[in-house]
Structure 1
């Protein structure tokens, strides 16, 4: 009986260590929204490189990805390359990628405001966010979120799994934590959601 119990525990631990994610994606033209077939898709994580090609409907699929984060790149002739970091927090994620035609006269890159510089600007404007992990862009809510948000003048948000250039969520939250300590003392640390990125109760 003891041996059976130990085997079950070992099996459950093994499942936790080797949790896997399935990734489903669609590649489209940003201007026309038409799907792009035969685009090359590459995943790079933990010294592993996976390659795929979009089908006639612009879709691609990777199964059993064993990593919390990875590098995703997409290449297709007549389009600018797509390259970004992907963070995995779900068993399966579904998303789309818009490629920009290389004939476009101007190519603007969106620089994320979620870094140290962005946090200092938000503090100055009195517009504070606390960033949460998550696979879907949303304002995730728990029962006590609204109470905390109103009391400390902050908003909990999740930016999804894809990171924009210049983004550092832990760095952003760290500056907000410092501001809350200076403004409210340390009482807020007992009330905050424990899944906020970079939070450590001290």
Structure 2
């Protein structure tokens, strides 16, 4: 890609994320183009919709989480906690833009179909979840572990725990990891 094309694409993604953080789903591609200082036609050349631009934004956040996860020396539950805490920090940093990537299809269907913004996050979480369940004696849940992690660590719910309940990111991570492991223990087939 040419540098001006790459620059425009990055500006569109950034504009979409900032507008979504401020205005939720009530934004149009024309709004994004104006904020990015590009024409609406240019914005549409890069993305077919605001949702596509936001999915690309979430992919970038997922890449950050994956790089963090792959570089960690911790193992087991400690690894799952530190990666989950990093996710919460990223959600808090990027604000409400993290809430607006939604679909009519369920998480597992989108993950198994290869939705990039989910697969990069799954890459970040596969080892932490696998090692945590091994350490705690829980049967390997496969991608059901990712499903439950996604449900518990949904950005909207993280904001609720932080803003409404008043928990800090460390406490949220610790409690949700415990809840995840309890859920996976309960989900496992009876011995």
Per the TM superposition, whether the score is higher than 0.5 is no
Q: Which has the larger radius of gyration?
A: 1
Q: Which protein has the bigger strand share?
A: 1
